[in-house]
């Protein structure tokens, strides 16, 4: 029984991630152009993540600590 489960899981996961050659279904087109866009984006443009979706990692370390300046809005609670 266990080998059948393992084989079923392996077969079902085998199709995951197959993203090559994506095209809209026959008779249908890509989504309409977003508001304010001059042209409809292609499938490759829609699948490419933007900088906001995948930000660059910053490995900059804090080299020296600076003292914080006072915050005039950091007030104690009112009674």
Q: Which residue has the higher pLDDT, 18 or 51?
A: 51
- In tens, the pLDDT along 6-50 reads 887 777 776 666 556 677 788 887 778 888 888 888 878 888 898
DSSP 25-53: PTT--PPPPPTT-SSPPPHHHHHS--TTT
3-state SS class at 62? coil
Q: Does the predicted TM-score (pTM) go above 0.75?
A: no
Cα–chain-centroid distance for residue 53?
Answer: 4
Please report, to the nearest 10 degrees, the dihedral formed by the alpha carbons of residues 10, 15, 16, 21 taken in order.
160
pLDDT at residue 58, rounded to an integer: 73
């Amino acid at each position: 029984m266990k080998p059948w489960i393992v084989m079923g899981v392996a077969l079902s996961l085998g199709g995951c991630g197959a993203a090559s050659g994506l095209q809209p279904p026959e008779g249908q087109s890509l989504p309409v152009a977003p508001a304010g866009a001059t042209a409809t984006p292609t499938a490759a443009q829609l699948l490419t993540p933007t900088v906001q979706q995948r930000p660059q990692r910053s490995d900059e370390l804090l080299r020296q600590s600076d003292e914080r300046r006072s915050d005039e809005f950091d007030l104690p609670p009112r009674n």
